[in-house]
């Protein structure tokens, strides 16, 4: 027996057959995969949990912002009725879709909101008492809104603030989802044939020699792992940069780059924009009559004036929901925890050796061929470029999936 063995070639007699050797090899690969997955458990949970928490938190902010804006319309502009709320709803639906990655333009969604709002403002505040404008008149008013800058500079201010804050939010979520993808990819790597053989030799060939209790030398394990994980360890620098980029992004998420601050104050910008129209209603009314007169049907002015005209013009005071922990403090906490995992990829070989059956020293241990009194370690460094001298695992180029992940990390680090 043993003459057909390919890896665990015995010096004398052996109890192993080729079939046993194949089973051991499958077990060795499975061990490796399980050790990799247990190494990343804490980190993976941290990123997955935070991606879900932040996505939900952003959706709650959008919901509050929509409710604040709806309340402002209900309190100050009741006569505009449910149509104003419809436009508010459409705007914030677009905001949610944008955060989740939709290619909708922020400028387009805000332009559409003010285009839709102006005919309402005109027929209820500037020209009250008339029935709803015709389709032709509505189109004329929508066009006039941009040409005459009827809302002043408020739409542009809103575009700047919303686009900057939502872009930062969107990149932040994309970065967290990429973190999950990176860990999932390295959790399920397929190891090379050479690595499989080296794992078998290290963990199970001693069994074929009848040395069931022999454990691999710690330094020998280190050499095997550095060879097997050389491609994965190449991710290390990009992973550290990724955490640094995420930290830079979170530090910059304040003022107009903080969606919580921007969206929860959006109602007051909309209110100021409407007040701006009201202040200029005399001049505006004349210009609109000249521009859209052809479309305006002659209608009898109603004797009753809408209550909007008599409402106190003070800006609506909104009490912001006091959250026990703001998004800012949550982001800081995430970065602190992530930084403790910054050397995750470079420390994988060491982690796996510590948590597998390898002993912690190099005396009376298995070196892949026999039990020896003292193992003399090779000086092998981490990473694919450092592995040509690794006698245990022949290095091929990085796995394509690892190269793809590195490219994605490079891209998000530049955003």
3-state secondary structure 88-151: HHHHHHHHHHHHCCCCCCHHHHHHHHHHHHHHHHHHHHHCCCCCCCCHHHHHHHHHHHHHCCCC
pLDDT digits 0-9 by tens, 79-97? 887 889 999 999 999 999 9
Cβ atoms of residues 215 and 361 within 8 Å: no
Q: Does residue 381 register a pLDDT over 90?
A: no
Q: Label residue 383 by pLDDT band (50, 70, 90).
A: low
- Give the whole-angstrom CA distance, residue 46 versus residue 176: 10
Of the two residues 305 and 193, the one the predictor is more confident about is 193
Q: Does residue 62 register a pLDDT over 70?
A: yes
- Give the whole-angstrom CA distance, residue 238 versus residue 407: 9
Across residues 365-372, what is the average pLDDT?
87
Q: Residue 364: which H helix or E strand, with range? A: strand 363-366
pLDDT digits 0-9 by tens, 219-246? 899 999 999 999 898 999 999 999 999 9
Cα dihedral sign for 163, 168, 172, 174?
positive
Across residues 37-44, what is the average pLDDT?
96
Q: Does residue 106 register a pLDDT over 60?
A: yes
- Residue 155 is predicted with a pLDDT of 97
> What are the distances in angstroms from CA 288 to CA 125, 308, 337?
14, 21, 58
Q: Does residue 391 register a pLDDT over 70?
A: no
Q: What is the mean pLDDT of the chain?
A: 85
> What are the distances in angstroms from CA 108 to CA 111, 120, 162?
5, 19, 12
Instruction: Tell me phi and psi for residue 372, to 5 degrees.
Output: -125, 160
Of 76, 22, 136, 104, residue with least CA distance to 278: 76
- Give the whole-angstrom CA distance, residue 136 versus residue 127: 16
Instruction: Tell me phi and psi for residue 373, to 5 degrees.
Output: -70, -40
Q: Does residue 294 register a pLDDT over 70?
A: no
- Residue 295 is predicted with a pLDDT of 55
pLDDT digits 0-9 by tens, 108-133? 999 999 999 999 999 888 888 766 78
Q: Does residue 311 register a pLDDT over 50?
A: no
- Residue 179 is predicted with a pLDDT of 96
Q: What is the pTM of this model?
A: 0.84
- Residue 385 is predicted with a pLDDT of 58
Largest CA distance in the chain: 112
> What are the distances in angstroms from CA 289 to CA 126, 254, 276?
11, 44, 19
Q: Label residue 397 by pLDDT band (50, 70, 90).
A: low
Of 64, 51, 53, 261, residue with least CA distance to 172: 51
148 half-sphere exposure, CB direction, 13 A CA radius: 25
Q: Does residue 293 register a pLDDT over 90?
A: no
- Give the whole-angstrom CA distance, residue 171 versus residue 415: 8
Other CB atoms within 10 Å distance of the CB of residue 311: 12
Cβ atoms of residues 50 and 338 within 8 Å: no
First-residue to last-residue Cα distance in the chain: 61
Q: Does residue 298 register a pLDDT over 50?
A: no
Of 254, 51, 59, 96, residue with least CA distance to 168: 254
- Give the whole-angstrom CA distance, residue 196 versus residue 27: 10
């Amino acid at each position: 027996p043993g003459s057909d063995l390919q890896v665990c070639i015995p010096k004398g007699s052996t109890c192993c057959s080729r079939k046993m050797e194949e089973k051991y090899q499958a077990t060795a690969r499975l061990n490796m995969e399980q050790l990799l997955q247990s190494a990343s458990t804490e980190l993976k949970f941290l990123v997955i949990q935070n991606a879900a928490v932040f996505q939900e938190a952003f959706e709650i902010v959008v919901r509050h912002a929509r409710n604040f804006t709806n309340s402002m319309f209900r309190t100050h502009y009741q006569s505009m009725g449910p149509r104003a709320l419809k436009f508010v709803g459409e705007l914030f639906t677009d905001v949610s879709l944008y955060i989740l990655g939709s290619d909708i333009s922020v400028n387009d969604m805000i332009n559409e909101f003010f285009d839709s709002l102006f005919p309402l403002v005109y027929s209820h505040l500037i020209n009250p008492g008339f029935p709803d404008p015709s389709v032709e008149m509505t189109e004329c008013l929508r066009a006039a809104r941009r040409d005459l800058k009827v809302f002043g500079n408020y739409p542009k201010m809103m575009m700047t603030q919303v686009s900057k804050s939502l872009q930062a939010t969107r990149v932040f979520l994309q970065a967290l989802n990429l973190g999950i993808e990176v860990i999932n990819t390295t959790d399920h790597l397929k190891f090379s044939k050479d690595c499989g053989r080296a794992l078998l030799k290290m963990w199970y060939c001693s069994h074929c020699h009848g040395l069931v209790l022999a454990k691999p030398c710690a330094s020998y394990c280190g050499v095997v792992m550095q060879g097997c994980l050389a491609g994965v360890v190449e991710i290390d620098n990009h992973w550290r940069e990724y955490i640094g980029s995420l930290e830079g992004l979170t530090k910059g998420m304040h003022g107009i780059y903080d969606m919580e601050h921007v969206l929860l104050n959006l109602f007051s910008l909309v209110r100021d924009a409407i007040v701006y129209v009201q202040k200029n209603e005399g001049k505006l009314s004349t210009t609109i009559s000249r521009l859209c007169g052809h479309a305006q049907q002659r209608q009898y002015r109603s004797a009753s004036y809408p209550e909007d005209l008599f409402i106190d013009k003070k800006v609506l005071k909104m009490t912001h929901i006091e959250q026990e922990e703001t998004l800012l403090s949550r982001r800081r906490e995430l970065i602190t925890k992530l930084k403790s995992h910054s050397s995750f990829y470079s420390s994988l070989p060491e982690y796996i050796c510590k948590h597998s059956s390898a002993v912690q020293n190099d005396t009376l241990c298995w070196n892949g061929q026999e039990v020896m009194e003292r193992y003399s370690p090779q000086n092998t460094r981490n990473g694919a470029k450092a592995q040509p001298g690794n006698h245990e695992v022949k290095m091929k180029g990085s796995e394509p999936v690892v190269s793809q992940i590195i490219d994605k990390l490079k891209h998000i680090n530049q955003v």
